[in-house]
Structure formats: structure tokens, C-alpha cells
Structure 1
Amino acid sequence: MSLLRHACIVLLMALLTLGVGSQAVAQSADPNREISTSVGAANADTWRQVRSGEVDANYRDSRHDSNYNLINAAGQTWREIRNHWVTPFGLIALGGMIAMIVLFYVIFGRKELDERPTGRKLFRWSALERSLHWSVATLFIILALSGLNILYGKFVFRSLFGDAVWGAMISASKVSHNYLGPLFGILLLIILAKFLKHNLPKKHDLAWFKKGGGLIGKGHPDAGFANAGEKVWYWLLATAGVAVIISGLVLNFPNFDQTRDTMMWANVIHAVAALGLTAVALGHIYIGTIGTEGSLEGMKTGYVDEAWAKEHHNLWYEEVKDQAVDAESLDQSTSDDGGKPAPSQPG
């Protein structure tokens, strides 16, 4: 009898297990039935009420003091703006700038100096200023590349290298972007404050624009320590760059009671401003390197040839031309000081 009783219990448990399993399979095969058993009256009218906010707190999300619905229409609006406007804008801005640079180089080539370099040097950038410039430039490039990878990388690298490599790339991009962003913001504010006096608008800046920086008409337009084009880049950094910093901090530190709407708009502002700055930065990099003879030398050594200064910054040249030193004596002074640069002169 005992053996029979145990056999009956085992058989009963097996039948119950089969019943539960078949019910689970039936539910997984029929999504509507699964929804009806797990949610209850989750019909179309209920979801419309959830979306419009007409239901009680049971249908709201679980965050502290949250007033958002479980379904938030603003999130879909943000998604459409990001995918249909921001992403194409970035491709157009970056692709358009690259095309303009290539076209400009093909038509005009590298801007050579009208007069041969004299070999006499003028002090232009201190070691501190060059360090600030290269630090900000390096951080800008890292942030630009990591940001572009976050926005566009999945369409390129994921299909090329697979999920494992793509996962490592996006993780590295996110970490570098989040941690280097605040440092970039601090250094950018320092560099903006330091160079403000050189970038205040002047009357002769209008003439510089009318002559296209020297491309239109004969002769070179007047320019002080900074020409009008450099001033435009400065004020773009002071406006769009600051917008990137502020919006980036809002996104980077979501624990200061920002609402979900604030985070979404910060994301849009951050992306648009950063993409625009990156596009303009390509032009700035081109002009400062292969585009113009003698420009890169100043930011590498701190000194520029007086022929370059006279041609591109004639008003500043008139102020400092009596401080020019021979390149040979400058090299000798550097050698005698154990590799230290010659004493700085006022710029």
C-alpha cells in the first residue's frame, strides 16, 4: 500500500507539471493570451490612457518623485529628432566641410608666402599657451572621434568587425568621452579667458571678410594678433563650445534632479553643437597645417618668421618688428640654455 501511495503521488505531480508546462507553451505561442493573464485588462484603451497620463500611479515609472508615464511620448519625439535631423545634419556638415577643403586645395593649393622667409623670428606663443593649445586640441580630437563612434559607429564598425570588437569600441568611446569631457571643458574655459583680449572685434575685421582673408582682390587685409577668421573660430568656441560643455555636464551627471525632458534636449543641443564645431575644426586644422605656409611653425616653436607675420598679421608685426631675432642666434641661445627657449617677449 505504501508503494502504491508513493506511485500515485509521483503520477499526480507529473500530471501537474505537464499541465503547467503546456499552459506556458500555449501562452508563449499566443502573445495576446500572455498579456491578458499577466497584465489583465491591457487593451488599446488602457495603453492610450497610460500614454496620455489619464491613469493612476500604478502605471507610472518607479523613480522617486517621477511624474512620467510608463509610455512617454516625448521620448519618441527625441528619437525622431535624433535619427531624422541630428544624424543627417552631422553627415552633411562633416562631409560638406571635407568636400570644401578638397575643392579649395585643388583650386588654390597651399597658400605660400608672397616673400621668402627672412630667417628672422618673432616670438608669438609662450610655452604655456602652446601647452594649452595642444592639450585642448588633443582632447577635442579624442572627444570628436569617440562622439562620432557613439553616433555613427554601429553602422560601420559593427558590421565590419562584429559585436565583440564593436562592444569594446563603444565601451572605450563612452568611458573616454565621459571622463575626458569635463577636463576639456575646464581647459577650454581657461584658453578662452587667456586669449579674449586678442579676439575682440575691430573695424578692420570687416575689410578682412570683404577680401576673403586675402583671396579676393590684391594685397592682404589688415589683421592684428588675431585675424578675423581666427576671431570667428574663437567666438564659435566661446558660444557653441560652451553649449557643448554645459549640455555635456547635464548628460554626464544625471544625479542632480534633471528631468527626462531636460536630458533629451541636452542630448540634442550637445550633438548639434559638437558636430558643427567638429566640421569647422576641420577647416581650422587644414589652414593651420598644410593649408598655409609657416602657420604650424608658430605653434610648434613659439616663433614665426617675420615674413609670415608681415603678410598675415601686419598690424601686430608693426608693433613687434623691432623684437625680431636671427634664427641662428635663437638656436644658439636655446643650445646655451640647455634646450630651454629664449626669454619670452610681449606679443
Structure 2
Amino acid sequence: MTKVPSRAPSGTASWLQRGWRLCLMLVLLVASLGVTQMAVAQADPDREMTTAAPGITADQWRQVRSGETGPNYRDSRHESNYNLINASGETWRILRNRWVSPFGMIAIGGMAALIALFYFIVGRKYLEEPRTGRLLLRWSLLMRALHWTVATLFITLALTGLNLLLGKFVFRSLFGDAVWGWMVSASKVLHNYLGPIFGVLLVIMLISLIKENIPKKHDWVWFKKGGGMIGKGHVDAGFCNGGEKAWYWLLASVGILVVASGFVLDFPNFDQGRDTMQWANIIHAVGALGLTAVSLGHIYIGTLGTEGALEGMTTGYVDETWAKEHHNLWYEEVKDQAISEEEIAARKAGDSGEHSAANSAAKPS
């Protein structure tokens, strides 16, 4: 049986990787500082008010807030129980602009900086033993399709949500009102229509994976040992390790809360009041910003951070060595099912041949 060596770098390649990591860390640190500065600017109420309604004086705002009407401003809604500016609305604006937006962006920028620092200091997690060339099926085609659909929707919703929340302080000044107007309009449509689809698919995915994510005693040991970074030896893990289960239950709790609050915002035709909508907006923003920050760690570990992890979600198969080092308890359950790459290629070729033969037989002579 041919063993494929692990691809851990050495010598000159190692120094080149360290230099590349340093450059990446500096870029991410600069980006996170820029994001933080933008978030602080977002927290400035005077700047926000000037951007939202230029040319309105403090006296005019005071008159409108007190409920006065005049030839240039009035509450045009029929039998409205609110003034144009009311105490609850002002509380919502302060929470959203002074607290939620800036601290959410600081969390995202800080997470990006921490990941860059971790990558620079620790580097990628390579396999300790050579690959065996024998593979185990980890993810079915259906589950991979579901995962990538949910992941794509998550990223799209995160980007459009950030644009709706903070884009006016970046893109409006860069591209002008016309382009900014198109961008925010497109973001709003995408966010509103893709959100419910994401919610439904997220629930389906959570139900499909609940069996593999039930907490076990060894998961606590996994956390105590920092996923294997503290102490010697590998940490026991089943199909999902402690970190993956934590991400699952975060999605099952905060994720569902974000989806539920999103439905409240997406469907105002069920007579929910303004106060309900405002609190739903705060809950939605806090949860979504938190999930976005944590998702950066999930994305890093599943792609750049761990050798072999991405292969499982792209091809469906993982090498025996990867399974033993990262999910040893699961490996013991399925090790008899390992097959070689040649066998997989032969199966695919056979399936392709059968499909071609079936198509040929179906054609009229």
C-alpha cells in the first residue's frame, strides 16, 4: 500500500510561508483597524444625523419630536399613535448606531485579526503521519450540496446585511449617491428574499445533523485540551469534535433566533407594532454580527487552517490518516469501509458508463 507523504513545509519554503503569513496578518490588521475606525464613526450621532437628513436644524428636530406640526413637516399616517420622532424610536436608533453597529464590526475585525495572528504564530495544522491513500466517505452528495447552499446564502446575507448596516459610510462616499442607491436597493432585495430560503434550509440541515452533534463526555475533554493544542497526544472525537458541535448549537440557538427575528422584519403584514419591529431589528443585528464573527473561525479551520478538512466537503472523502488524527472514534467505527482512490475512480467510471449506455438505449434507432 503506497503512502502519500504529508505536505508540511521545511527549509526555504517554511521561511517563505512565514513571510507570507506576516504579510497576510498585516493586511488583516490594517483592514480590521479601518473597520474599527468606520464603526466608531458610525457611533457618532451628529455625523449619522447629518448623513441621514442634511439641512435639518436642531430646532426643527425638537419641534418634530415634541409632536408639533407645520407646513413643511407633519405625520401623514392615518390615525397614527406615534409622533414622527418618538422615545422608543430614538432608543432603537441609539442602540443600533452607538452600540450594535460599532461593537459588531469590532468583533468581526477583531476575529479576523486574531485568526491572522494565530496563523502567523501557529501556522497550518498539517497531518502528522503520511496519507495512506485509502479514503473514507464522510459527506454524501446531498449533504454537501445542502452545506454549500446554506454557506453561500449565509455569506450573501452577511455581506448584504453589513452593506445595509454600514455601507452608507463607505460606498456612498466612494461611489456617489447613484451607485450607492443601486447597491443598497440590491442588497435589500437579496437580503429580504434570500433570508427565508436560508432559514428553511438551515432548519433542514440542523435536523439532518442533530444525531452527530449530541454532546458527549469526551467533548468536554476536547475543550479542556483546546482541541489538541494543550498537552500531548490526540484528543478523542467522534464524527464531530467539540468545536464543530459548539458551532452547530450556536447555529441551532442564535441562528434560529436570527431567522425568527428576520421573519418578523420580512413580513410586517401580520400587524406587529413598531416597537416589536425595532426590537426584532436589534436582536437580528446582534445575532447576525456575532454569527458572522464566529463563522470566520469556522471558515478558517475548514479551509486554510487544517490540511484535508476542505477535501471532505468538496469530494465527500477523507484520508484514513486525517480521520485517525482528527476524528479517531468515528474512524474506529468506519475503518473497515476504507477504499482506495483507484476503487473510487473505477466506481465513478462504471457509473458514467452505465449512464451513457442507458442514454444510448433510450435513443430511437
**TM-score scaled by length of structure 1:** 0.80
1:145 equivalent to 2:159? Answer yes
Aligned: 1:247 with 2:261: yes
Query: Among 165, 178, 192, which residue is 2:179 paired with?
Result: 165
CA gap of 1:339–1:299, structure 2 versus 1, over 3 A, is: farther
Equivalent position SS for 1:115: coil
* Aligned residue number for residue 180 of structure 1: 194
Out of 93, 96, 113, the residue aligned to residue 79 of structure 1 is: 93
Is 1:314 aligned to 2:328, yes or no? yes
CA, structure 1 residues 165+128, in 2 after alignment: closer, same or farther (shift >3 Å)?
A: same
- Count of aligned pairs: 294
Q: What is the identity, as a one-letter code, of the residue corresponding to 1:252?
A: D
Residue number in structure 2 paired with 1:21: none
Deviation (angstroms), 1:161: 1.0
Choose the corresponding residue for 1:220, options 216, 225, 234: 234
Rounded Cα–Cα distance in structure 2 between residues aligned with 1:246 and 1:339: 47
Matched, 1:305 2:319: yes
CA distance in 2, matches of 1:49, 1:303: 65
Matched AA of 1:325: I
Distance 2:180 2:64 in 1: 36
Inter-partner Cα distance in structure 1 for 2:335 and 2:306: 21
**Following TM superposition, by how much is the alpha carbon of 1:125 offset from its aligned partner in structure 2, in angstroms?**
0.6
1:78-157 correspondence runs (5 A)? 78-157=92-171
The 1-side partners of 2:275 and 2:300 are apart by 38
Q: Deviations over 1:257-284 (max 9, x none)?
A: 1110000000000000000000111110
Q: Which residue of 1 is the match for residue 218 of structure 2?
A: 204
The residue type paired with residue 87 of structure 2 is A
Q: Secondary structure at the match of 2:127?
A: coil
- Matched residue SS, 2:100: helix
Map Cα deviations across residues 158-193 of structure 1 (whole Å, 9 max, x no partner).
111111111111111000000000000000000000
Q: Which structure 2 residue ranges, 5 or more long, are not aligned?
A: 1-55, 69-73, 355-365
Q: How far off its partner does 1:65 sit? A: 6.7
- Structure 1 runs not aligned, ≥5 long: 1-30, 36-41, 52-59, 341-347
Supply the distance in 2 between the matched residues of 1:314 and 1:94 (Cα, whole angstroms): 33
* Structure 1 residue 287 corresponds to structure 2 residue 298: no
Task: Give 1:67 shift.
Answer: 3.2
* Distance of aligned partners of 1:48 and 1:148 in 2 relative to their CA distance in 1, 3 Å threshold: closer
Deviations 1:61-92 (CA, angstroms, capped at 9, x unpaired): 56567533444111111110011100111111
Q: CA deviation at 1:339?
A: 8.2
Letter in 2 for 1:188: L
Q: Percent identity between the aligned chains?
A: 70
| Secondary structure at 1:118 match in 2 | coil
Distance 1:325 1:64 in 2: 71
Q: 1:143 to 1:49 in 2, by over 3 A?
A: closer
Partner in structure 2 of residue 230 of structure 1: 244
| Cα distance per residue 1:206-237 (max 9 Å; x no partner) | 10001100111111110000000000000110
Q: 1: distance between equivalents of 2:79 and 2:326? A: 59
Alignment of 1:304-343 (within 5 A): 304-338=318-352
- Segments of 4+ in structure 1 off by > 6 A? 46-49
**Helix, strand or coil: the match of 1:162?**
helix
Describe the superposition over 1:287-331 as per-residue Cα deviations: whole angstroms up to 9, x where unpaired.
000110000000011111010001100000000001100111111
The answer on whether the counterparts of 2:64 and 2:84 sit within 8 Å (CA) in structure 1 is: no
SS at match of 1:92: helix
Alpha-carbon separation, structure 1, partners of 2:321 and 2:258: 38
TM-score normalised according to structure 2 size: 0.76
- Give the secondary structure class of the aligned counterpart of 1:337: helix
The residue that corresponds to 2:287 in the other structure is: 273
Aligned CA RMSD, in angstroms, stands at: 2.4
